[in-house]
Amino acid sequence: MSEVEAIAARIRSLPQNDFSTLRTWFYEFENTCWDRQIAADFKAGKLSRLIEKARAEFAQGKAREL
């Protein structure tokens, strides 16, 4: 059995309260990882083209401020 399979089996056996706690923790952990990835991509310039496109569309009236 792989480590992931073992973890999945353990999660399936958790009491509901513990499962809810784990779900909340994992959701927050995943969001933190996503935020770090977006920040790294921004710093590396990977989002520059998308930002420029959005600014151009806004300037042309094709988008509106949120």
pLDDT tens-digit series, residues 3-57: 999 999 999 999 999 999 999 999 999 999 999 999 999 999 999 999 999 999 9
3-state class (DSSP) for residue 64:
coil
Cα–Cα distance, 13 to 25 (Å, whole number): 17
pTM (predicted TM-score): 0.68
pLDDT confidence of residue 26: 98
- The answer to whether the beta carbons of residues 34 and 27 sit under 8 Å apart is no
pLDDT confidence of residue 64: 75
